């Protein structure tokens, strides 16, 4: 039976899971064991999948090593598994790994890498990473101080938080409002007009998605067909006021360099709904989360 390669523009980045039904069921059962506190069962079941690089298994195993639940605490092993998941696009893994780089626990202390990971996780929708990055931009120690940009990140954190409890949401609102009330009118105006790849970017609306999916099949390398399964890549696009794409940047790798390169090439030919500043079409950075899957 031949395999067909399908590509979709995905605005929610899903965890990469085992491709077989039995594997998916095993990871689900192990996750449930972890959630009910049966750490020994969870660890034994998740480790084989984590060693193969499956995101959800890596994230939980990283947490277990970090917390010392079901296994001796080992920050170095925690960092190893969190990095595997982070490299494949897990927002929560990137956020947790950033904390390790900020403190030097399990990895060499690297404030710049921590900032990069919080930024990546924030772009992927992690509210805690977006909040931390906003606060770091206010503090201005490990990253240049930029209060208007910080306000954008704190606003994004609230948006990403969704339907969280009022108690949790109150802390996010406090941080945002405290900064907003401290900004001068010129800084507030700057925040309202700011468009930057460093800040929260709108999700792209692709005008020609069907045509783009069709072109994808001619660009993707044959190794994807041999690999099977699915994966995702996140890219940032500088979209002109007329909808044409200018600069294209890799924000979060799929873990497959050939797929990343093919996706970047594909996105340069896309037509995107332009961003708007004060109601007028303007050049702006936008984010696309692009997913491929191979099905028999």
Chain Cα centroid distance, residue 75: 22
Of 233, 198, 173, 56, nearest to 123 by C-alpha is 198
Q: What confidence score (pLDDT) does residue 21 get?
A: 57
Phi-psi sector, 125: left (phi>0), alpha (psi -120 to 50), beta: left
In this model, does residue 229 exceed pLDDT 80? Answer: no
- Tens digits of residue pLDDT in 193-224: 776 677 787 888 899 888 888 888 777 766 66
For 238, the enclosing helix (H) or strand (E) is strand 229-239
- Cα(271)–Cα(243) distance, rounded to whole angstroms? 6
- Cα(127)–Cα(124) distance, rounded to whole angstroms? 9
In this model, does residue 104 exceed pLDDT 60? Answer: yes
3-state SS class at 206: strand
- Cα(167)–Cα(52) distance, rounded to whole angstroms? 38
In order of 100, 136, 144, 178, the CA distances from 141 in angstroms are 17, 7, 7, 19
In this model, does residue 7 exceed pLDDT 60? Answer: no
Q: What confidence score (pLDDT) does residue 226 get?
A: 62
Which position has the token pair 């931390």? 132
Phi-psi sector, 243: left (phi>0), alpha (psi -120 to 50), beta: left
- Cα(62)–Cα(107) distance, rounded to whole angstroms? 13
Average pLDDT across the chain, whole number: 84
Q: What confidence score (pLDDT) does residue 8 get?
A: 36
**Average pLDDT score over residue span 163-182:** 93
Q: Which of 9-23, 25-39, 125-139, 225-239 is predicted most confidently?
A: 125-139
In this model, does residue 239 exceed pLDDT 60? Answer: yes
Q: What confidence score (pLDDT) does residue 296 get?
A: 46
Please work out, in degrees rounded to the nearest 5, the angle formed at the alpha carbon of residue 267 by the alpha carbons of 262 and 271.
155
Q: What confidence score (pLDDT) does residue 76 get?
A: 97
- Tens digits of residue pLDDT in 19-52: 455 667 888 899 999 999 999 999 999 999 888 8
Higher per-residue confidence, 258 vs 10: 258
In this model, does residue 225 exceed pLDDT 90? Answer: no
In this model, does residue 294 exceed pLDDT 70? Answer: no
- Cα(18)–Cα(69) distance, rounded to whole angstroms? 24
Of 259, 232, 244, 248, nearest to 287 by C-alpha is 248
């Amino acid at each position: 039976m031949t395999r067909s390669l399908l590509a979709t523009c995905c605005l929610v980045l899903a965890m990469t899971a085992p491709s077989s039904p039995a594997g998916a069921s095993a990871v689900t059962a192990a996750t449930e064991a972890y959630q009910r506190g049966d750490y020994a069962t969870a660890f034994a079941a998740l480790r084989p999948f984590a060693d193969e690089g499956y995101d959800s298994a890596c994230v939980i195993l990283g947490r277990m090593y970090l917390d010392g639940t079901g296994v001796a605490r080992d920050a170095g092993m925690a960092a190893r598994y969190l990095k595997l998941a982070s490299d494949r696009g897990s927002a929560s893994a990137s956020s947790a790994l950033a904390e390790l780089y900020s403190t030097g626990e399990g990895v060499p202390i690297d404030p710049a890498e921590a900032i990069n990971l919080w930024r990546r996780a924030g772009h992927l929708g992690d509210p805690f990473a977006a909040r931390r990055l906003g606060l770091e931009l206010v503090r201005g120690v490990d990253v240049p101080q930029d209060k208007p940009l910080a306000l954008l990140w704190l606003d994004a954190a609230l948006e990403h938080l969704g339907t969280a409890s009022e108690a949790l949401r109150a802390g996010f609102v406090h941080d945002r409002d405290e900064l907003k009330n401290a900004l001068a009118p010129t800084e507030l105006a700057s925040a309202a007009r700011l468009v930057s790849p460093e800040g929260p970017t709108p999700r792209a609306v692709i005008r020609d998605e069907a045509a783009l999916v069709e072109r994808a099949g001619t660009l993707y390398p044959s190794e994807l067909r041999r690999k099977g399964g699915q994966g995702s890549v996140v890219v940032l696009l500088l979209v002109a006021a007329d909808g044409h794409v200018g600069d294209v940047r890799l924000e979060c790798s799929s873990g497959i360099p050939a797929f990343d390169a093919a996706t970047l090439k594909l996105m340069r030919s896309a037509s995107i709904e332009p961003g708007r500043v004060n109601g007028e079409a303007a050049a702006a950075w936008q984010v696309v989360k692009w997913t491929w899957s191979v099905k028999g």
